[in-house]
């Protein structure tokens, strides 16, 4: 427990959150915009999340507790415990097994269990079950192994347990933290060779332990004797050939040069579990520098040798060794040795050695190493990007589960890989072009289902380029899937397009900063290109949103995502300093205005308020600066805004929606037609009291104000009470409505509210 | 299949033109990589290809080595550009790769570098295998095993060989910086375990990626047409196309053999401009063959899948294997394969 807690801390500083669409512009906007609405929306979600988190943490704590209990049970077990009808033992054993196979065990846990398994206090079946689940989460302490070996001398445990222990020791050899004391036991292991059953495994263990000083004439003799007794055994041959390699003068016999395999595979029992634990630990600590389980040498678990899904290990550029021979004189000039990447563990190390750091031999390995990603961000070397580009492009193409049938069974791994790529993009705040090309190639063949969230997240990092190029490659295949897929898919697409827009805008803001440097040429053609592309993207989303709303009957959930997109759009001018404002199409505006849900209406009010703020600011800028601006909003934008605002005020405030709406696709209706509907008080039906999205509030308001009146007389809300009602609405969290009413409605006097008018922006 | 008129014609028919607004300063957003934006769509092949006129090998070619490449079944791979590969270090690479192969072969046993390992790896330049002067020199890798018995005529036996080449990959080369060596096509012959080891070593050492290069039926049809049209002076083997019929309990293969002179005569009536082949011509050629087959056997070959093409020039299988038979057309075949390899890694 303690260890886990410690391990988390250094991580947090570097950790990239999965939802990390880092808002680069937030710091800029902080001063200009208060944005109460967004804050409000988010704050309602927060406690929910925290609750969930604490629940999952609790669950984690519980399992930890069970494990602790089980371990204390085993630790205290003194005498022989029978297995049969011992429910307590069964329960604890099951706990240990499940946790060990999922997460692995701490060094302390391993110590306790090793001791109990070899002490002979438990039945053989229990011992073997324990041994089979001894999966280390990190390392195995050498002392545990030594004390376990000492149990072998006592002779309490059966032969089969000893054998299983040896196999375990061989399989876990690389996880043992130190091996000095184990080496001291060389003589003991060598003596055990006489046991015929243990002999193959003892040979294997000795093979792993043998050093030159262990090769002694008496040992060679003993091995040759054994070979004479048992015949040509591959395990004996292996040990002999190693002895011969180390001390050729001591071993004079000739050994056959080739053998297919010397040792039986001891790892098999634990391999799958080790891999599971390793993958789990890798996933939880993507950027962690602590090598939880040896990720340096991923075992090949796949069918192809050139499969690229296994991220290459971070190793020093070996090619460099050969190269440096040729250019040794160049090294003399720089007289600094390079710093091996394997040793790079902390951020301070990175800072100290940044001048003599080199990238690993395979660039793909940087994806797992946040320090190297930091370094990559500082280095302006084209070749590192190109190496990454080739590697990633090939990996994506070769491992993609939907253009190679053979890959289908590896979907989970491909998902993990896409996740890593996405996180790296968030970390670097830039998209990879190999990823972009992969999307262009694979989207037309995609079923919209496989790796959905991963693919859609990658879409949000498509680098900004001309939209004419993007349209056939991205928009067309995406639109096809969009129209034919579920509501949830539609919302996901809209969300990733919103992220895409934000990423482009953030990039633009950063670009402005760079270009304020006078050395770099001022922006000219680029800005028009950018404006065009962003506008096209917004129009595209407007179009698919209109169609989607019609297909899904204006469902609130979808409308929420659409309006969320427009929350970014309406602030492009002020928040991102881009001279562009695009109004939502009527197919989005009217469903939101007439929505049944107050959330949507509130969002729309907030958006219209931000449009107004942006337009007013643009107008002021235009008036102040006498110089001809390269870009200014067309009168059409103002006109569109004014039409919408009239419709909105007519609807919500002056109860004249059906008369005053002048938008060609608006809700203006002939009085004759309205009369035919036979609805009473048609005029009022969409004002803030009668609007279907707000009527619930009106009812609650009435109930609170006149608890005795059961008739629900809406006409009571007028005059002073109209103001109270408004205040009531504001306290209910309708901040968007508040901002809208306070900014866009010019109330003549507080006493007589009947006469009020909307404010239009004059062109 | 691309629309023919939208593609510009370059020596290999690759589309390079960029359209739209010029995003000069987007380099930071997709850093450093604007120069490789050629965007060939997945599986797209050019609408026309040129049959190389100078298909002869360059003079400095070693006839013995060239002969070694012929009449062997090679498995095809595409390779991304190799980082910091140096032609001057071939000897050193041979030594390192030998040690690596030996170590991998005897996994679990300690290996002493420099000792006699019973295995010898040689990297050498294959001269003369170039389409243009810009092409980088091809590399031959051979693994020879020393015979265990101390016999007098103990000659090293080649157990595995592979070669890297890039013939007329100009368009691609232009865009790749100096540190990279483009040898995009790799051909291997021998036990796959050796391919694995050698490939792994190259991947680790030069940060490149190997991928199997399979040949689509469309490209096989191109090969059938292009190779049928080639002049062969000496012995002529039959042109054979193998089709696979799916959706049966056991897949059924249909072999369609045509007398090479008949095939050539048909092709001559189809081809309009000598020295150049277009997609329509290839389609027409195949359609003629299909309708002829249908007349006799009432089987629509167009509904099956072309899996193998063999002619006097070379034979190719859709799995990505090739056997080249004629040294005169070696360069031409490699040119087409290089193009396919490049389109896979781009």
**Residue A303 touches partner B, C-beta closer than 8 Å:** no
Q: How far, rounded to the nearest angstrom, does the alpha carbon of residue A665 sit from its chain's CA centroid?
A: 42
A527 in B contact zone (CB under 8 Å)? no
Average pLDDT over residues B247-259: 84
What would the mean pLDDT of A304-325 be, rounded to a whole number? 62
Q: Where are the beta strands (DSSP E) in chain B?
A: 48-50, 73-79, 82-83, 119-126, 138-145, 157-165, 180-181, 185-190, 210-212, 239-245, 252-258, 276-278, 305-310, 314-317, 321-324
Choice between B308 and A673, residue whose per-residue pLDDT is larger: B308
Q: Which of A403-407, B13-17, B32-36, B288-292 has the highest mean pLDDT?
A: B288-292
- Closest alpha carbon to A122 in A92, A150, A89, A154: A89
| pLDDT classification of A80: cutoffs 50, 70, 90 | low
Contact call for A386 and B36, based on CB within 8 A? yes
Interface list for A 245-264 with B (CB within 8 A) = 245-246, 257-258, 262-263
Question: Is the distance from CB of B49 to CB of B9 less than 8 angstroms?
Answer: no
Is residue A161 pLDDT above 50, yes or no? yes
Tell me how far apart the alpha carbons of residues B203 and B208 are, in angstroms, rounded to a whole number.
5
Instruction: Return the closest-CA partner of residue A22 out of A602, A671, A460.
Output: A460
Of B26, B33, B110, the CB nearest to A389: B33
**d(C-alpha A362, C-alpha A321), whole Å:** 15
pLDDT band at B53 (very low <50, low <70, confident <90, very high): low
A304 CA: distance to closest CA in chain B (Å): 9
SS (H, E, C) A705-716: HCCCCCCCCHHH
- Quickly count: other Cβ atoms within 10 Å of residue A709's Cβ: 11
CB B322 within 8 A of CB B314: yes
Would you place residue A696 in the very low, low, confident or very high pLDDT band (cuts 50, 70, 90)? very high
Residue B345's pLDDT band, with cuts at 50, 70 and 90, is confident
Residue A365 or residue B151, greater confidence: A365
- pLDDT level of residue A436 (50, 70, 90 thresholds): very high
A516 touches chain B (CB under 8 A): no
Are B188 and B162 in contact, with CB atoms under 8 Å apart? yes
Q: Do A385 and B89 touch (CB under 8 A)?
A: no
**Helix, strand or coil for residue A185?**
coil
Tell me how far apart the alpha carbons of residues A397 and A395 are, in angstroms, rounded to a whole number: 5
Contact yes or no for A453/A496 (Cβ under 8 A): no
What count of CB pairs under 8 Å joins A to B? 159
Whether chain B has a CB inside 8 Å of the CB on A390: the answer is: yes
| Half-sphere exposure of residue B319: CA atoms within 13 angstroms, side-chain side | 7
> If contacts are CB pairs under 8 Å, which of residues 467-486 in chain A contact chain B?
467-469, 473
Residue A389 contacts B where some CB pair is shorter than 8 Å: yes
pLDDT over 70, % of chain B: 78
Average pLDDT of span A372-399:
88
Domain spans, chain B: 63-212, 215-318
Interface contact flag, A433 B30, Cβ < 8 Å: yes
Task: List chain A residues with CB under 8 Å of B26.
Answer: 463-465, 526
The first and second tokens of residue A566, run together, are 């427009």
B178, exposed or middle or buried, with CB in 10 Å at 0-12, 13-18, 19+? exposed
CA dihedral over A148, A149, A153, A158, signed as positive or negative: positive
- A514 has a pLDDT exceeding 90: no
> Looking at beta carbons, which residues of chain B come within 8 Å of A474?
none
Q: Specify the pTM.
A: 0.70
Do A289 and A277 form a contact (C-beta atoms < 8 A)?
Answer: no
* Optimal mutation site among A320, A328, A341, A362, interface B, most CBs of chain B within 10 A: A362
Q: What is the mean pLDDT of residues A710-722?
A: 86
**pLDDT given for residue A762 in this prediction:** 56
Are A148 and A165 a contacting pair, CB within 8 Å? Answer: yes
Higher pLDDT, B55 or B11: B55
Q: CA nearest A312 in B: which residue?
A: B204
Q: Is the pLDDT of residue A494 over 90?
A: yes
pLDDT for residue A335: 45
What are B314-329's pLDDT values in tens digits?
999 999 999 999 888 8
> Is residue B280's pLDDT more than 70?
yes
| Alpha carbon A323 to its chain's center | 39
* Rounded-to-integer distance, Cα B212 and Cα B77, Å: 4
Q: In A, residues 197-236, which contact B (CB 8 Å cutoff)?
A: 207
Cβ-defined contact of B81 to A390 (cutoff 8 Å):
yes
Q: Which residues of B touch A385 (CB under 8 A)?
A: 31-33
State the pLDDT at residue A258: 54
Question: What separation in angstroms does the CA of A439 have from each of A389, A410, A456, A666?
Answer: 14, 19, 10, 39
Calpha distance A432→A438 (Å, rounded): 10
Q: Is a pLDDT exceeding 70 seen at residue B168?
A: yes
Query: Do B25 and A523 lie within an 8 Å CB cutoff?
Result: yes
Chain B residues with CB-CB distance to A314 below 8 A: none
Q: Does A761 touch chain B (CB under 8 A)?
A: no
Q: What is the pLDDT of residue A571?
A: 94
Nearest-neighbour CA in chain A from B300: distance (Å): 26
pLDDT at residue B29 greater than cutoff 50? no
Helix (H) or strand (E) holding A565: helix A556-569
- Whole-complex ipTM: 0.84
Q: What pLDDT is recorded for position B56?
A: 62
Each residue of A572-614: pLDDT tens digit? 999 998 889 999 999 999 999 999 999 999 999 999 999 999 9
Check CB contact under 8 Å for A529 and B21.
yes
Is the pLDDT reported for residue B171 higher than 50? yes
Q: Compute the distance between CA of residue A20 and CA of residue A554 in angstroms, rounded to an integer.
A: 30
- Most confident listed range (A20-34, A519-533, B292-306): B292-306
On the question of pLDDT at A246 being above 60, the answer is yes
Give the list of residues 6+ apart from residue A696 with CB closer than 8 angstroms, or none.
A598
Q: HSE, CB side, 13 Å, CA atoms: give it for residue A253.
A: 16
Contact criterion met (CB < 8 Å) for B84 and A318 = no
Whether residue B340 is predicted with pLDDT greater than 50 in this model: the reply is: yes
Of B32, B195, B209, the CB nearest to A391: B209
Nearest alpha-carbon partner for B165 in B311, B338, B346: B338
A487-515 helix and A525-551 helix, angle to the nearest 10 degrees: 170
Residue with tokens 């630790």: A75
């Amino acid at each position: 427990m303690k260890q886990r807690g410690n391990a988390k801390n250094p991580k947090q500083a570097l950790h990239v959150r999965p939802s990390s669409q880092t808002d680069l512009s937030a710091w800029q906007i902080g001063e200009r915009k208060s944005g109460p609405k967004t804050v409000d929306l988010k704050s309602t979600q927060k406690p929910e999340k925290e609750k969930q988190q604490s629940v999952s943490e609790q669950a984690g704590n519980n399992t930890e507790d069970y494990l602790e209990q089980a371990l204390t049970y085993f630790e205290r077990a003194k005498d022989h415990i029978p297995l049969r009808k011992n429910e307590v033992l069964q329960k604890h054993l099951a706990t240990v097994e499940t946790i060990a196979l999922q997460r692995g065990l701490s060094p302390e846990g391993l110590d306790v269990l090793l001791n109990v398994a070899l002490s002979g206090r438990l039945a053989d079946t229990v011992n073997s079950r324990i041994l089979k689940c001894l999966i280390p989460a990190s390392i195995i302490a050498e002392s545990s192994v030594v004390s376990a070996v000492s149990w072998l001398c006592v002779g309490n445990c059966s032969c089969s347990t000893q054998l299983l222990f040896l196999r375990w020791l061989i399989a876990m050899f690389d996880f043992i933290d130190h091996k000095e004391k184990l080496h001291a036991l060389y003589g003991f292991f060598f003596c055990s060779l006489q046991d015929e059953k243990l002999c193959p495994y003892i040979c294997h263990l000795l093979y792993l332990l043998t050093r030159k000083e262990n090769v002694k004439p008496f040992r060679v003799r003993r091995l040759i004797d054994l070979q004479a007794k048992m015949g040509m055994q591959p395990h004996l041959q292996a040990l002999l050939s190693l002895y011969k390699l180390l001390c050729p003068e001591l071993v004079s016999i000739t050994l056959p040069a080739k053998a297919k395999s010397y040792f039986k595979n001891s790892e098999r029992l634990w391999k799958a579990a080790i891999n599971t634990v390793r993958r789990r630990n890798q996933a939880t600590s993507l950027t962690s520098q602590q090598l939880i389980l040896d990720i340096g040498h991923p075992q090949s678990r796949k069918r192809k040798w050139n499969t690229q899904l296994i991220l290459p290990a971070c190793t020093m550029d070996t090619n460099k060794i050969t190269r440096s021979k040729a250019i040794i004189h160049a090294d003399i000039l720089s007289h600094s040795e390079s710093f091996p990447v394997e040793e790079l563990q902390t951020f301070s190390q990175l800072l100290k050695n940044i001048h003599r750091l080199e990238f690993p031999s395979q660039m793909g390995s940087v994806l797992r190493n946040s320090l190297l990603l930091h370094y990559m961000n500082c280095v302006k070397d084209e070749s590192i990007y190109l190496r990454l580009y080739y590697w990633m492009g090939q990996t994506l193409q070769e491992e993609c589960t939907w253009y190679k049938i053979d890959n289908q069974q590896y979907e989970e791994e491909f998902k993990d890989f896409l996740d890593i790529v996405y996180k790296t993009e968030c970390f670097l705040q830039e998209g990879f072009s190999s990823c972009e090309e992969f999307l262009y190639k694979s989207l037309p063949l995609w079923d919209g289902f496989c790796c959905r969230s991963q693919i859609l997240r990658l879409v949000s990092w498509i680098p900004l380029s001309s939209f004419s190029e993007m349209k056939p490659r991205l928009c067309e295949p995406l639109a096809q899937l969009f129209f034919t897929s579920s509501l949830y898919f539609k919302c996901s697409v809209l969300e990733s397009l919103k992220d895409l827009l934000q990423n482009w805008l953030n990039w633009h803001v950063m670009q402005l900063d760079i270009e304020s440097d006078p050395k770099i040429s001022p922006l000219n053609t680029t800005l028009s290109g950018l404006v065009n592309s962003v506008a096209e993207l917004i129009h595209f989303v407007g179009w698919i949103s209109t169609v989607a709303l019609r297909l899904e009957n204006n469902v609130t959930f979808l409308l929420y995502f659409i309006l969320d997109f427009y929350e970014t759009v309406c602030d492009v001018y002020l928040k991102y300093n881009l001279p562009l404002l695009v109004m939502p199409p009527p197919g989005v505006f009217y469903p939101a205005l007439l929505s049944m849900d107050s959330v949507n209406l509130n969002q729309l009010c907030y958006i219209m308020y931000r449009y107004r703020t942006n337009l007013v600011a643009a107008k002021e800028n235009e008036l102040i600066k006498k110089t001809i601006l390269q870009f200014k909003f067309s009168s059409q934008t103002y006109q569109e805004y004014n039409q919408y605002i009239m419709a909105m005020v007519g609807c919500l405030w002056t109860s004249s929606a059906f008369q005053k709406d002048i938008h060609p696709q608006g809700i203006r209706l002939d009085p004759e037609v309205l009369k035919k509907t036979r609805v009473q008080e048609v005029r009022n039906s969409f004002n803030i009291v009668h609007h279907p999205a707000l009527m619930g509030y009106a009812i609650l308001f009435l109930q609170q104000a006149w608890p005795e009146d059961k008739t629900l007389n809406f006409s009571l809300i007028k005059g002073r009470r109209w103001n109270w009602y408004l205040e009531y609405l504001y306290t209910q969290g309708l901040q968007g409505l508040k901002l809208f009413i306070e900014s866009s409605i010019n109330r003549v006097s507080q006493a007589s509210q009947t006469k009020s008018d909307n404010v239009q922006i004059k062109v | 299949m691309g629309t023919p008129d939208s593609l510009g014609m370059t020596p290999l028919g690759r589309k390079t033109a960029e359209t739209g607004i010029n995003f000069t300063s987007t380099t930071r957003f997709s850093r450093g990589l604007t120069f490789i934006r050629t965007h060939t769509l997945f599986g797209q092949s050019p609408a026309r290809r040129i049959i190389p006129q100078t298909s002869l090998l360059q003079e400095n070619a070693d006839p013995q080595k060239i002969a070694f490449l012929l009449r062997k079944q090679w498995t095809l791979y595409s390779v991304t550009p190799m980082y910091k590969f140096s032609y001057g270090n071939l000897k050193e690479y041979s030594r390192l790769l030998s040690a690596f192969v030996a170590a991998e072969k005897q996994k679990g046993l300690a290996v002493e570098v420099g000792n006699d390992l019973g295995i010898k790896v040689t990297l050498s330049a294959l001269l003369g295998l170039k389409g243009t002067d810009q092409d980088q020199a091809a590399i031959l890798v051979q693994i020879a095993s020393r015979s265990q018995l101390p016999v007098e005529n103990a000659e090293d036996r080649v157990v595995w060989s592979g070669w890297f080449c890039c013939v007329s990959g100009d368009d691609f080369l232009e865009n790749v910086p100096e540190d990279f060596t483009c040898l995009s096509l790799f051909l291997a012959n021998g036990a796959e375990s050796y391919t694995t080891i050698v490939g792994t070593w190259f991947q680790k050492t030069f940060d490149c990626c190997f991928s199997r290069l399979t040949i689509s039926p469309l490209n096989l049809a191109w090969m059938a047409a292009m190779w049928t049209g080639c002049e062969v002076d000496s012995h002529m083997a039959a042109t054979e196309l193998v089709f696979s019929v799916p959706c049966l309990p056991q897949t059924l293969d249909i072999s369609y053999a045509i007398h090479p002179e008949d095939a050539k005569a048909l092709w001559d009536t189809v081809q309009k401009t000598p020295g150049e082949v277009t997609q329509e011509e290839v389609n027409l050629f195949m359609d003629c063959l299909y309708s002829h087959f249908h007349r006799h056997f009432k089987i629509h070959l167009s509904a099956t899948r072309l899996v193998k093409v063999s002619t006097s020039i070379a034979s190719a299988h859709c799995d990505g294997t090739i056997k080249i038979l004629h040294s005169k057309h070696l360069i031409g075949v490699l040119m087409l394969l290089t193009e396919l390899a490049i389109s896979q890694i781009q």
